[in-house]
Structure 1
Amino acid sequence: MSITTSGPVGQRVRLRRVEPADRRTLMRFDRESSDTHYPKFDGYRHWGAHRAHHGDSGDDIQLAIETLLDRTLVGSLSASQAEPGSGRFGYGIGIGPQHRRRGYADDAITALLAFMFGRLRYRKCEVGIYDGNAASLALHGKLGFREEGRLRDPEFLCGGAQCLVLMGITATEFAARSPINHLRRAPRGRR
């Protein structure tokens, strides 16, 4: 998949290619997040985006999330496991600790879904979230994702057992909740 420097745009954020200059900030987000009780491999931390010099593989992409207001880098997102033949994809998202609870994740996910469903014609998005991550489970529920199952063999992470909650949303469900016109082009003169 080809994303230009300026990609999908939401109401608050723009998704764009990760640039080498973003690495320092993304690595800082990782360090600052390491004291949380979720392990590095819970969903997506910013590690995938650090590979800005690597090309995207098929429809798997790493994107930076920056604010529209002042172009501040607030996180990163990775669309992965994209299978054009089956019409399915997944993603992981990481927002820097100081930028959380401001609606950036919600807006970035909505922009990604609009792009993947509207422009690339994928039919379903599937994600896995640890059951102890109440904020992410609530966010995905708000966005229209439905719980589709739980992995029965729990992981022992950070001193306790956690199951992986599998959630999904179809293009039809997304369109009914959030018309695809959420995807708009970046303002002229800004990349």
Structure 2
Amino acid sequence: MTSSAWVGERVRLRGREPEDWEAFHAFEEDSDAIRNGWRLAPPTSVARMKKELAESAEEEPDLDEFSLVIASKHDNAPVGSLNTHQVDRVHGTFAYGISVGTPHHRKGYASEAVVLLLRYMFFERRFQKAEAWVYGSNEASLALHRRLGFVEEGRRRRSHFANGRYDDEVLFGMTVEEYTERYA
């Protein structure tokens, strides 16, 4: 039996498919979860969501800067997504974002998806450091990153506005050596 670098015990990281539109459209209904991830936007129509998913399913993937679906290994249904961004090949750093739909919180999907992503970026793409920005009020994500072994490296005070209040952004980082010590 062959194994995939993209499959863990609970999750499978995969490309977006046009039929994923319904799950992602439903995830948009939780405004607090959306605010925790980035910013609240006006609702997306079903037609627009279908078009976005169909177009992204057809895009040629980039090896370093990409967006993936976090799917349940059990039934391949979307439970969230993660993406890489701010990729700096010169310095060997990248940032990532992760979002798991509210019905799927606290089931281990996020932690396993992050570990799979880091393994790929560190051991296949030769990056040496991962970064993640987390809003100071997002207690679940702060706890996740600490539990995964990320180091809090800094804080941008009052740099995010949502739901009538300003929030700090907390920078977390993990080096390839820290990852290897913990997960390899």
Which aligned runs of 4 or more in structure 1 are off by greater than 6 angstroms? none
CA contact (8 A) 1:127 1:168 kept: yes
Unaligned runs of 5+ in 1: 1-5, 180-191
The residue number in structure 1 matching 2:143 is: 138
The residue number in structure 1 matching 2:114 is: 109
Matched, 1:86 2:95: no
Please give the per-residue CA displacement for 1:45-80, whole angstroms capped at 9, x wherever unaligned: xx9x84333334562101011121222221111111
* TM-score normalized by the length of structure 2: 0.82
After superposition, the CA RMSD in angstroms is: 2.1
Q: Which structure would you say has the larger RCO, counting Cα contacts within 8 Å and 6 or more residues apart?
A: 1
Q: Percent sequence identity over matched residues? A: 40
What is the number of residues matched between the two proteins? 168
Please give the per-residue CA displacement for 1:73-109, whole angstroms capped at 9, x wherever unaligned: 2111111122222111111111111111100000000
The residue number in structure 2 matching 1:27 is: 25
The residue number in structure 1 matching 2:65 is: 60
- After TM superposition, give the deviation of residue 156 of structure 1 in Å: 3.0
CA contact (8 A) 1:7 1:16 kept: no
* TM-score normalized by the length of structure 1: 0.79
- After TM superposition, give the deviation of residue 8 of structure 1 in Å: 1.3
Counting only pairs closer than 5 Å after superposition, residues 1-191 of structure 1 correspond to structure 2 as 8-31=6-29, 33-36=30-33, 38=35, 41=38, 50=53, 51-57=56-62, 59-179=64-184
Which structure is higher in helix share? 2
Please give the per-residue CA displacement for 1:117-157, whole angstroms capped at 9, x wherever unaligned: 11111100011100000110010001111111011343332
Unaligned runs of 5+ in 2: 40-48
Please give the per-residue CA displacement for 1:1-31, whole angstroms capped at 9, x wherever unaligned: xxxxx76122211101111221221121112
CA contact (8 A) 2:36 2:135 kept: no
